[in-house]
Amino acid sequence: MTHQAGTCRLLFGPMFSKKTTRLIEEAETLTDLGIKCLFVNHIDHQRETAAGDIFVSTHHSQYKGLSSKIDRVLAERASEINPDPYKAIFFDEGQFFPDIVEWTIDAVFNKGKIVIIASLDGDSNLKPFGRVHDLESICEQQNIVRLTAFCKPCLKQQGRLVNASFTAKLNPGGPQKEIGASDKYMPVCMKCYLRHTQKGPEPVIKVEQLEAMALPVAKRDESKEGTVVAARK
């Protein structure tokens, strides 16, 4: 039996970029259209919101709670989720699910589901976080969404609204997975990230490797303008 392929949609961004808010909005939009939806949050990331909801973790001060029409569950692994009763499944904190790639591919291509995942696109060391990036190859371009926050240092120190694409720890260091909110993290632009951490990420390719990889450079014959006669490194 063949199935019509579903859809994979990814919402990337740093902390405080309203990924969860966007995820909730899209879940409620589909629910209002009569689509049966499930909202999944990672069990390690639960914290009770002002709305008394332990299933949704959001920094949005206006959050009033997830629609009662949307089923919700906490899980440690995506494989704990049975997608069969639902047409659309929404994962928050996708970076924490170790098997999110395999589960999503099966749900989209073998079961025709809509899977929408909100995830950090990097950690506080500018390193990839989790495996959600591996799903970009099965997404159409319009279904890879990159959100930004406002840089907190730029806003507080200069009164400027500058897009923040990165997350910095207030006290740099520690493990990659460290649950927290504004008590531990802040959104930053690259300039403020480097100033705050006083360093950048470790280079993926060292200078010596770049020099070894350098392509031959054409040498111009000065006696004949525009003529290339040799190549040198």
Judged by DSSP in three states, 214 sits in: coil
The 3 state secondary structure assigned to 80-117 is: HCCCCCCCEEEECCHHHCCCHHHHHHHHHHCCCCEEEE
Q: Which of 76, 93, 211, 225 is catalytic?
A: 93
Q: Smallest Cα–Cα separation from 157: which of 200, 186, 181, 182?
A: 186
How many CB atoms sit inside 10 A of residue 182's CB? 12
Is 211 a residue of the active site?
no
Range scoring the smallest mean pLDDT among 22-26, 62-66, 95-99, 121-125:
62-66
pLDDT digits (tens, 9 = 90+) for 185-225: 999 999 999 988 876 555 545 555 556 656 554 455 555 55
Position 1 scores a pLDDT of 44
Instruction: Give pTM, 2 decimals.
Output: 0.78
Q: Which residues pair with 73 in a beta bridge?
A: 40
CB-CB contact of 41 with 66 (8 Å): no
Distance CA 223, CA 208 (A): 34
- Checking if the pLDDT of 180 tops 60, the result is yes
User: What size, in residues, is the chain?
Assistant: 233
Rounded Cα distance, 162 and 165, in Å: 10
Residue 169: half-sphere exposure toward Cβ, Cα within 13 Å: 15
pLDDT digits (tens, 9 = 90+) for 70-105: 999 999 999 999 999 999 999 999 999 999 999 999
Among 118, 100, 114, smallest CA distance to 19 is for 118
**Between 67 and 133, where is the model more confident?**
133
Q: How far is it, in rounded angstroms, from Cα 38 to Cα 123?
A: 27
pLDDT attached to residue 174: 67
**At 172, is the pLDDT very low, low, confident or very high (cuts 50, 70, 90)?**
confident
pLDDT tier, 50 (very low <50, low <70, confident <90, very high otherwise): very low
Domain boundaries defined on the chain: 7-147
Fold of 7-147: Rossmann fold (3.40.50)
**So what's the pLDDT on residue 64?**
64
Share of the chain above pLDDT 70, in %: 72
pLDDT at residue number 171? 81
pLDDT band of residue 229 (cuts 50, 70, 90) is very low
Question: Binning pLDDT at 50, 70 and 90, where does residue 176 land?
Answer: low
State the average pLDDT for the chain.
83
Q: Using one digit for the tens of pLDDT, what is the confidence trace for 143-163?
A: 999 999 999 999 999 999 999
